[in-house]
Structure 1
């Protein structure tokens, strides 16, 4: 455990020193600042106002930006160490493969999750300062959704990094996965598949396998329990799941998906040639 925490600490320090971490932090912190400057908390749209509307806008932007940031910064975690021979150097110490791999996972998760969480927490602090009503229930659930989405794409990124030797190929795969999932982020776009007379239940079920889609639907359901903005597909979701059940599933499913990919990555990493 001590070596695992040491690897996590070293990865955390290395990430903080990297320029991408500064950009990553500024992007999400800058979004919150921009929303404040634009007066989002003083406006009202479709009944959403104050911090509720700010959190809704933040979460809708995060769903697009967060996955690609996690993929491109994490997918080179192991493959980059292999390219620079840091992996060979690290394993020359009395550190097991398990400690190295899961230490990297832990350190990188802290790196990618804390900036998005603190940006949202900054909004809550600002709300307390101006005396606005704080939607604590939405804040807690959004924290869970961000945690689960980060877990899912972190696991996918480490899975890719475990078997790809070249950083360029790893980046290419990460972009492909992001674009592929992004193409199916809106169930309305899958109407093209419906023209081929596929069963609607099958199409919607496939769409909900996408962690980004689960995240989006759950986030919207916190503000719009009837999911009126999503059209007819809402009736299928509401008939199949209760809102509370669906939100909990939206948190649990990406976490499980991320753990499965992370374990698969570890199996590949432990069995293949390391250098």
Structure 2
């Protein structure tokens, strides 16, 4: 366990020295600052006001930017170490494969989750400063949603990083995963509905297998329990799940996927030629 945390600490220090981490901080911190400057907390749009309006826009930005940032910065984690012989060097020490793999994951998760959580806390702090009330329930649930979203894409990234040997291939695979999941939020599913080739309920059920869509609907339900912005789909979701059960599903399902892909990646990491 000591070696695991040493690897995690090393990965955090390495990430903090890299340029992508400062870009990552700038994107989320800068976006939140932009929201403050433009006065989003003072606006009223479709019934959303103040802090709820700020967090709703932050959610819409997060769902697009966060997955691709996690994928492109993490997918090279093991493949680059393998190509640059760092992996061989690290394993020459009394460090087990388990300590190396899970240490890298703990370190990288800390790096990708901390900035988005910090931006969320800053946003809520600003909303309180502007006269809003502290939404403890919303803060904890939205933090849990962000946690599960980071977990699923981190797991996918580590899985890709262990099954490919070239970091260029790993980057290409990460873009394919991101574009596919992003397309199946709306574009591809709307196309299937318009063609009437599949039952509508089947298409909606298919969309609920997409962790990005699950995060999106779960986050919207915090601000709009009736899901009025989603139209007729809301009736299917509310009748099938209900708000509380769907929020639970929005947290547990991506987290389960993240753990599954992490374990699958560790399995291939142990079985494949490491060097």
Same fold (TM over 0.5): yes
| 1:51–1:135 contact (8 Å) kept in structure 2 | no
Q: How does 1:94-173 map to 2 (within 5 A)?
A: 94-173=94-173
What's the CA shift for 1:196? Answer: 4.0
Unaligned 5+ segments in structure 1 are none
Q: How does 1:210-225 map to 2 (within 5 A)?
A: 210-225=210-225
Distance between the aligned counterparts of 1:196 and 1:92, measured in 2?
58
Q: What is the total number of aligned residue pairs between the two structures? A: 274
Q: CA RMSD for the aligned pairs?
A: 1.1
Length-normalised TM-score, structure 1: 0.97
Unaligned 5+ segments in structure 2 are none
* Cα deviation 1:169-219 (Å, max 9, x = unaligned): 000000010000000112x75132132431222111111100000000111
What's the CA shift for 1:228? Answer: 1.6
Distance between the aligned counterparts of 1:123 and 1:208, measured in 2?
28
Q: What's the counterpart of residue 262 of structure 1?
A: 262
Q: What's the counterpart of residue 80 of structure 1?
A: 80
* Cα deviation 1:133-172 (Å, max 9, x = unaligned): 2222212111010000000000000000001100000000
Q: What's the counterpart of residue 175 of structure 1?
A: 175
What's the CA shift for 1:105? Answer: 0.5
Distance between the aligned counterparts of 1:139 and 1:46, measured in 2?
22
Length-normalised TM-score, structure 2: 0.97
Q: What's the counterpart of residue 189 of structure 2?
A: 190
Q: Which runs of at least 4 in structure 1 moved beyond 6 Å after TM superposition?
A: none
The reply on whether 1:42 has 2:42 as its aligned counterpart is yes
The reply on whether 1:5 has 2:2 as its aligned counterpart is no
Distance between the aligned counterparts of 2:17 and 2:39, measured in 1?
33
Distance between the aligned counterparts of 1:104 and 1:226, measured in 2?
41
SS in 1 for 2:226: coil
SS in 2 for 1:82: helix
Deviates more, 1:191-200 or 1:80-89: 191-200
What's the CA shift for 1:233? Answer: 1.3
SS in 2 for 1:95: coil
What's the CA shift for 1:126? Answer: 2.1
SS in 1 for 2:65: helix
Distance between the aligned counterparts of 1:36 and 1:72, measured in 2?
28
